[in-house]
């Protein structure tokens, strides 16, 4: 957190891995404090993607409206930079209404970029992208990750070997500037000096319990009709598995099942495993965050703990 100042605008961030209970806790907080919720979720921005994103229900949204959900069609792309633009617009509107923004979600990159700023990276070069894509098709996607590891070990460690989009972008930036994307990010400014962030993180101490909850939640999604939800997307002519929306955890695995690339049982196992990996990456982000208030996600009195924290530092 930056140094407190009476002139700074207050922003509360509720972070945590998937299935840690962020949404129900945020909805309870809105009933207790003058807050408005802004979603920090790279999948909830898409319309028609409700079950697999664990999007709040109609009743929950009636109790606690969320900004920045259902703002895009799945065929569109969304960047961290665009999120910052949209989030700051909503933040200032909420503050103007006399309330405090409550940013809730698990897309840690969005939180980081909003709070720490984003490097002014060079624009995309389609020729280099085509060359990298051809390299991936010829040598395999793993070859691109290995190539990144030779020029930018920090980025290679941070980026999942299967995240081809981010791997190609990191290599593209290096080819264009002869400077690694990690260096660009280290040199980036911290522009939001007018805002005071209070970061509260729900961190489950029992990893096995979190994994069990992830499996149970996916089973519940299937009962709610998740496969039919993805089938509606699969049947559209303008969507493909290369789009960020379809690459979202759960959607990618069901998409492959509908394409005949896996069995139902394999799809379920892969979706649960991918969600666990997502939770692991989110926890890695949180462990590296220097300015957070960590709370036990499974504590029976976690709501009371958050109320106590907010009452002492914000209200």
For position 81, what pLDDT does the model report?
Answer: 80
Burial class (CB in 10 A: 0-12, 13-18, 19+), 194: exposed
- pLDDT of 1 strictly over 70: no
Whether residue 145 sits in one domain with residue 112: no
What are the tens digits of pLDDT across the range 177-223? 888 887 876 665 555 668 899 999 999 999 999 999 999 999 999 99
Give the pLDDT score at 3: 44
Q: Output DSSP code: residue 11.
A: E
Q: Are 285 and 108 within 8 A, CB to CB?
A: yes
Do 245 and 42 meet the contact criterion of CB atoms below 8 Å apart? no
User: What is the total count of domains within the chain?
Assistant: 2
- Boundary (domain end) residue, out of 149, 167, 186: 186
Q: How far apart are CA 299 and CA 308, in angstroms?
A: 14
Backbone Cα Rg of the chain? 20
Residue 269 lies in a domain: yes
158 and 113 in one domain?
no
What pLDDT sits at residue 141? Answer: 78
Q: Are residues 34 and 156 in the same domain?
A: no
Is the per-residue pLDDT at 259 higher than 50?
yes
Q: Please check whether residue 2 lies inside any domain of the structure.
A: no
Q: What is the pLDDT of residue 156?
A: 86
* Average pLDDT, integer, range 5-30: 91
Mean pLDDT estimate for the chain: 91
CA dihedral 79, 58, 105, 278 (to 10 degrees): -80
What is the Cα–Cα distance from 11 to 102, expressed in whole angstroms? 6
Task: Judge if 144 and 55 occupy the same domain.
Answer: no
- Residues 151, 246 share a domain: no
Q: Please give the structure tokens belonging to residue 144.
A: 């691109």
Tell whether 132 and 229 lie within a shared domain. Answer: no
Q: Is the pLDDT of residue 175 over 80?
A: yes
Q: Is the pLDDT of residue 67 over 90?
A: yes
Residues 138 and 230 in one domain: no
Q: Is the pLDDT of residue 54 over 90?
A: yes
Answer whether residue 4 is part of any domain.
Answer: no
Q: How far, in Å, CA of 250 to CA of 242, rounded?
A: 14
- Give the residue numbers spanning the domain of 142: 126-186
| pLDDT above 70: percentage of residues in the chain | 94
The residue from 186, 218, 235 where one domain ends is: 186
Has residue 32 been placed in a domain? yes
Least reliable range by pLDDT among 76-90, 178-192, 278-292: 178-192
Name the domain boundary from 151, 170, 186: 186
Sorting pLDDT into bands at 50, 70 and 90, what band is 313?
confident
Residue 5: pLDDT band by 50, 70, 90 thresholds? low
Q: Which tens digit of pLDDT belongs to each residue from 108-126?
A: 999 988 988 766 677 778 8
Structure confidence at residue 140 as a pLDDT band (50, 70, 90)? confident
Residues 134 and 254 in one domain: no
Q: What is the CATH number of the domain that holds 251?
A: 3.40.50.300
Q: Are residues 104 and 199 in the same domain?
A: yes
CATH number of the CATH domain containing 169:
1.10.20.140
| pLDDT for the residue numbered 119 | 64
How do residues 210-257 score in pLDDT, each as one tens digit?
Answer: 999 999 999 999 999 999 999 999 999 999 998 999 999 999 999 999
Question: 25 and 159 in one domain?
Answer: no
Residues 200, 210 within the same domain: yes
Q: Are residues 209 and 109 in the same domain?
A: yes
Residue 169 — pLDDT band, cuts 50, 70, 90? confident
User: Residue 6: pLDDT band by 50, 70, 90 thresholds?
Assistant: low
* Model confidence pLDDT, tens digit, residues 290-305: 889 999 999 999 999 9
Token duo for residue 221 = 């999604």
Q: Does 235 map to a domain?
A: yes
């Amino acid at each position: 957190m930056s140094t407190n100042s009476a002139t700074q605008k207050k922003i509360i961030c509720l972070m945590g891995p998937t299935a840690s209970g962020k949404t129900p806790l945020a909805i309870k907080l809105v009933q207790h404090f003058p807050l408005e919720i802004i979603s920090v979720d790279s999948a909830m921005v898409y319309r028609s993607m409700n079950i697999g994103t664990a999007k709040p229900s109609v009743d929950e949204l009636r109790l606690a409206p969320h900004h920045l959900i259902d703002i895009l069609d799945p065929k569109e792309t969304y960047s961290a930079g665009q999120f910052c633009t949209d989030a700051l617009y909503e933040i200032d509107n909420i503050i103007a209404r006399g309330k405090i923004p409550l940013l809730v979600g698990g897309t840690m990159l969005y939180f980081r970029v909003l709070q720490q700023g984003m490097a002014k990276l060079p624009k995309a070069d389609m020729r280099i992208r085509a060359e990298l894509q051809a390299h991936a098709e010829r040598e395999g996607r793993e070859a691109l990750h290995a190539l990144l590891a030779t020029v930018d070990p920090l980025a290679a460690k941070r980026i999942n070997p299967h995240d081809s989009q981010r791997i190609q972008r990191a290599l593209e930036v290096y080819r264009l500037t002869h400077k690694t994307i990690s260096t660009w990010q280290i040199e980036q400014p911290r522009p939001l000096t007018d805002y005071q962030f209070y970061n509260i993180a729900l961190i489950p101490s029992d990893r096995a319990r979190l994994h069990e909850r992830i499996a149970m939640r996916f089973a519940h999604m299937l009962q709610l009709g998740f496969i039919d939800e993805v089938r509606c997307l699969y049947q559209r002519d303008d969507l493909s598995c290369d789009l960020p929306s379809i690459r979202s955890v759960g959607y990618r695995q069901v998409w492959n099942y509908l394409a005949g690339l896996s069995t139902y049982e394999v799809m379920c196992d892969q979706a649960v495993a991918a969600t666990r990996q997502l939770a692991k990456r989110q926890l890695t982000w949180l462990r590296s965050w220097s300015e957070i208030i960590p709370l036990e996600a499974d504590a029976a009195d976690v709501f009371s703990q958050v109320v106590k924290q907010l009452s002492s530092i914000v209200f």
